[in-house]
Amino acid sequence: MTLTKRIIPCLDVKNGRVVKGLHFESIKDAGDPVVLAEKYSNEGADELVFLDITASDEQRKTLKDLVRNVASVINIPFTVGGGVKSVDDARNILLNGADKVGINTGAIKNPPVISELADLFGRQCVVVAIDAKRNYSTKEDATLFEDGEKKFWFEVFIFGGKKETGIDAISWAKKAEKLGAGEILLTSIDKDGTKDGYDILLTKSIVSSVSIPVIASGGCGKSEDMVEIFEKSNVDAALAASIFHYETLGVHGVKQFLKEKQIPVRL
């Protein structure tokens, strides 16, 4: 049986509003999270991701009332991330209606927390988010790629893409899986908000280095971009924001297009 590919709208939330940026900067408003969540759920989204994008940077917890309000209007799996550092943070999010917890900065700062979350809530609940960007400086223990004459590696960033870590994304993905991550949400900072397609090389490299599901994120501007990422990497799901928020395309329309292109999706 062929597993269907998941299409996941993403709500990046700042100050209670959905926003969208470019390379994690130049943020602009995109609407009310509750209204958008209900719309996407009704349009046939397979899951929804809600990221409180400034929680870690502002050293605060995720907006739990907002999470509860979003959960109350949808009937699809719901992943929430932002500011998760501990089992208590995760429990809070799950008690307010999320099905899965996304963790990025908290996991880099304290990797054993991944195992704690997996042991307590089950692996399927733990989504490790990896924000990665190309780095052209030399690093001996990183997986290197070639760009013409130059070599580069993919570096993990934390605090909503604001701070580099010196950690190789591929090694970190493998480690996260070993520690108990059930899924990886992989965002290319280079591609974020550009609408010129996903980072195929990054996605393909991470997918082939782990055996847990990977969600591709960053760069989707049209349905063809999703077709391309599914055809060129064995990624399990594609996440997008701009094309859904600004009414470029509805979720159902995107899925219809994918089905016509022989990508297995649930309509």
* Domain hosting residue 73, numbered range: 6-131+167-260
Let me know if residue 152 belongs to a domain: no
pTM above threshold 0.75: yes
Let me know if residue 162 belongs to a domain: no
Let me know if residue 254 belongs to a domain: yes
- Local mean pLDDT, 10-residue blocks, the chain (267 residues): 88 84 62 91 96 72 84 96 93 95 97 98 98 94 92 94 95 98 97 92 98 96 95 96 74 93 95
Q: What is the pLDDT at residue 26?
A: 53
- Tell me the C-alpha to C-alpha distance, in Å, between residue 224 and each of 8, 115, 174: 15, 37, 29
Q: What is the pLDDT at residue 63?
A: 75
Q: Known catalytic residue: 12?
A: yes
Let me know if residue 137 belongs to a domain: no
- What DSSP assignment string belongs to 17-41? EEEEEETTEEEEEEE-HHHHHHHHH
Task: Give the 3-state secondary structure of residue 171.
Answer: helix
Q: How far apart are CA 100 and CA 102, in angstroms?
A: 7
Q: What is the pLDDT at residue 58?
A: 72
Q: What is the pLDDT at residue 77?
A: 96
Total domain count for the chain?
1
Q: How far apart are CA 18 and CA 8, in angstroms?
A: 15
Q: Known catalytic residue: 65?
A: no
CATH number at residue 48: 3.20.20.70
- What DSSP assignment string belongs to 175-235? HHHHHT-SEEEEEETTTTTT-S---HHHHHHHHHH-SS-EEEES---SHHHHHHHHHHS--
Q: Which of 52, 131, 192, 199 is catalytic?
A: 131
186-200 in b/e burial notation, b at 16+ Cβ within 10 A? bbbbebbbbbebbbb
Q: What is the pLDDT at residue 239?
A: 96
Q: What is the pLDDT at residue 22?
A: 62
Token pair for 230: 């599914």
Let me know if residue 32 belongs to a domain: yes
Q: How far apart are CA 190 and CA 205, in angstroms?
A: 16
